[in-house]
Chain A
Amino acid sequence: MTLTPRRRLVLIGALVVVWAIGRAGLSGVVNTSGASAFQRFWRSALSPDLSADFLSLTIEATATTAAFAVLGSALALLIGVAGALAISERAMGTGWLRRAAEVVATVPRAVHEILVALLLIQVLGFDPMVAVIAIGVPFGAVTAKVYADALDDADRSAYDGLRASGVGRLTAVAYGLVPLVRGEFVSYAFYRFECAIRSAAVLGIVGVGGLGFQLDISFESLRYDEIWTLIFALMLLSGTADAVSSWVRGPSGPSDGGRWFPVVAAVGVAWSWWQVGLDVSVLWSARTLERGPELLRDLFPPELGPGGWTELWSATVDTMSLVVVAVVVAALFGFVGAAVVRRPVIDKRSGLSAVGDGFRIVVGRLVLLTARAVPAPVWAFLFVLVLYPGIWPGAVALGVYNAGVLGRLYAEAIESQPPEPERAAALAGAGRWTRWAYGVIPGAAPRLVSLTVYRSEVMVRETIVIGVVGAGGLGQLLRDHLVARDFGAVMGVVIVLIVLAIAADALGRVIRRVLR
């Protein structure tokens, strides 16, 4: 029997999942004696610390996190536009220069913001600029890629016309393409901002301030009541950013093609600049000029840690199996979440069941929001209470956090499907499950798989933020080397992470091509 490429892919995928679960192990996974501490954490949600002092601290931290996200997004936007011009074929032609720029742009995409921040504090200290660059550079690289694709995919008639009349490439792009893609650019900028909020929250952990910083401090002494106050602040911030982003990107958003955007961006940046007291001169201060080259000398050439290749290899394999299990968890819970928060397509409900639907949707959204607002390291600590240390708690933590993100993206993807197939199935008398199987899934599947594949690449990078859980892997190795201040070995692990991320990216492209 020969297999179609699609079936072969499914088979290989299944084998990989079985392998990963085998490596994680299935015996002795659940630790029931940790349940009481786990429950204590959730019970504390009902009694967050609402003292005036802590609330004012939380408000300030929330503002700082928001400001980091705004400034980081602004930098990402600048880098994104400049980078897009450098890697767009229409702006740069097809020469080696464009090719080189494209390769350069893949590297920052493969590095997690936390890692950038950890290295930057070695040079800049605990300066707000660390957070801005740590968000701005990796996000800028992704934005550049997306913007370049948009430029190269846009309707080319105006551009060709200008080119034919002897106009230079850049001018032709500016007048022939930019007006076409401006709305898309703004929409994507807001999506990045939404991600930047979550990123800024976690970034505080390296010590630059904001909610992550306070969260880490409250975590040191396990002050669950304070942790919940901070989590609620994160949910509010993250939920608001998501809502604004959805509104801007949705059909009912502002419709003048993004002309309002520069004003909003300028005000946001000005306020954020002031809020965190950003001082650009740290970039060329005497200390930076001394510490920067010093750090580079420490980082290069990359080295192996004391454990050699064996350690690096086994950590890499652990990380891969952790990611595979995490992707499965994220996709499963994300899909269930998306199904729960979906608005009914068929309006034949009585008032009572409409209320029921509304309730279900609100609760579902809150659960998804909680999943993505609680930072992954916090999830990791919680799951290590109830799952024995190893790959499982880390994978479940990463999975649940990403289920919150994926659930939201899945829901958007499903909602953008035309409702006719499902209506037809319903009219033919199909029940809920049949309607899903025949009316919803076939149309949405390619997009769902695409989203999952994109997110898997992110999850490869995120494995480094999972501490505590005893999962080993590259994250633990990286921490070992950082603690020993062995930056050559740190760079060694970073290179493996970059290779993994690039491999995941390439694999993603293969998967998408097979499924197309």
Chain B
Amino acid sequence: MSRTRRSASWRALIPLSLLALTAASCAGSDDSGSDEPPGSAAAETDGTSEPVEESESADESDSPVLHIGAIPDQEPERLQRTYGLLADHLEEELADDGFTTDVEYVPVTDYSGAVTGFVVGDLDAVWFGGLTGVQAQLEVEGAQAVAQRDIDEAFTSVFIAGADTGVETIDDVAGLAALEGQSFTFGSESSTSGRLMPQSFLAEAGIDPDEDFEGQPGFSGSHDATIELVAAGTYDVGALNSQVWDDRVADGTVDETAVVEVFRTPPYYDYHWVVQPDLDDEFGDGFTEAFTEAMTALDPDDPDDAEVLELFGAGAFIETENGNYAAIEAVGRDAGLIR
């Protein structure tokens, strides 16, 4: 499956061949004045093949499209694979309930982009982190948290440190005070496990990131980048999603001589699906419920379902509701990330 919203198509070749033509004429010397301005070739290629069908044209066909999205917390290939399989699963399950709809995964570049996509209505259902989910619920009146993984009731972050920084294993939240004077990086600004909760636990230990670290805290942009920057010694300490960390350690991509885990946080509520309030109007009565059931119906004993669950790192999906994230909202307000 392609990583863009639409697949690559032959049309793209037109400008490139034009560019190649003009480049060839310009690269040699500056004295060629003879070549045609770009454009003449375009007409010839016109109509030699049918354009590949695009998402936009799919929108206009009979069956409505459910656009799903996710915060980019994993590498794009994995997201693509996960949501490609999930889209197939959802189409099947929803069809069983009488809803004929295409399900399309729309990638976004950052966490706040996922929120924006949901707020403007480009995305119908989004796999949010704790903080971004709460932001979405607050901005879109009537938006509902519908499902989460079994592990999201008790999610954790890890603090990692460069092996040569001398930062020792920390036993409890109060022990985080020992990080004073180190340089520190979060992940994405809106990440729950890479920013919000680590910041909250640091605050509990009496550390103000703007005052007590060496220099300003960094925002690496992603969990993987946090590992890279701490391993490189750019920052002494960083915090990230424990699930991503465990995966990287398990598949051997972490250089454990350069970077080590020093603390695992207490559990908190994290990821969840949030859906638009008007899905039932748009796709038919009972659609929201059918969506939730399609998620919770993922069965670890079914080989296809098991693959999706495995990619989500979950045993099963369970129902959830907006109220479960009150604690995250409070922490978000304290941190100034919900205003």
Hey, which bits of chain A sit against chain B, CB under 8 A? 31, 33-34, 36-38, 53, 56-57, 59-64, 66-67, 121-126, 204-207, 209, 213-214, 216-223, 236-237, 239-240, 243-244, 246-247, 250, 252-255, 260, 263-264, 267-268, 271, 274-275, 277, 279, 287, 291, 306, 381, 384-385, 388-390, 467-472, 476, 479-480, 482-486, 489
Contact = CB atoms under 8 A, between A and B. Distances in A.
A217 B3 contact: yes
A207 B31 CA distance: 40
B324 interface: no
A260 B225 CA distance: 49
Interface in B105-138: 106-113, 115-117, 119-122, 135
Contacts of B2: 53, 57
20 contacts: A60-B8, A66-B15, A122-B120, A123-B120, A126-B122, A207-B109, A213-B4, A220-B76, A220-B109, A220-B222, A221-B76, A240-B23, A240-B26, A243-B26, A252-B30, A252-B32, A254-B33, A275-B11, A275-B15, A485-B115
Contact of B233 (A31, A213, A236, A472): A31
Contacts of B13: 59
A434 B139 CA distance: 66
Nearest to A33: B233
A384 B229 contact: yes
A222 B112 contact: no
B120 A125 contact: yes
Given A267-B39, A389-B215, A470-B216, A205 B76 contact: no
Contact of B42 (A253, A267, A476): A267
A250 B23 CA distance: 15
Interface stretch (B90-98, B169-177, B331-339): B331-339
A34 B4 CA distance: 32
B22 to A, nearest CB: 5
B232 A469 contact: no
Contacts of B111: 483
A37 B108 contact: no
A219 B221 contact: yes
A260 to B, nearest CB: 6
Nearest to B332: A484
A56 B224 contact: no
Please name the 8 residue pairs, one residue from A and one from B, whose CB atoms are nearest each other, closest first.
Answer: A221-B75, A33-B233, A267-B39, A63-B12, A56-B8, A243-B26, A34-B232, A60-B8
B274 to A, nearest CB: 15
Contact of B218 (A254, A389, A480): A389
B190 A268 contact: no
Given A60-B12, A126-B117, A236-B19, A220 B75 contact: yes
A470 B186 CA distance: 11
B232 A37 contact: yes
A264 B119 contact: no
A260 B40 CA distance: 12
Contacts of B14: 63, 271
Given A206-B113, A485-B115, A389 B234 contact: yes
A125 B121 contact: yes
Given A121-B120, A122-B116, A389-B234, A63 B15 contact: yes
Contact of B235 (A222, A389, A485): A389
B238 to A, nearest CB: 12
B220 interface: yes
Nearest to B76: A217
Contact of B337 (A217, A254, A255, A484): A484
Interface string B219-256: 11110110011011111000000000000000000000
B38 interface: yes
Given A214-B3, A220-B76, A246 B26 contact: yes
A268 B37 CA distance: 11
B77 interface: yes
Given A59-B8, A252-B30, A252-B32, A484 B339 contact: yes
A122 B119 contact: yes
Contact of B219 (A214, A468, A485, A489): A468
Contacts of B288: none
Nearest to B337: A484
B218 to A, nearest CB: 4
Contact of A243 (B22, B33, B216, B220): B22
Contact of B225 (A222, A275, A486): A222
A467 B110 CA distance: 13
Nearest to A482: B112
A36 B7 CA distance: 36
Contacts of B215: 388-390, 470
Contact of A222 (B3, B33, B117, B228): B228
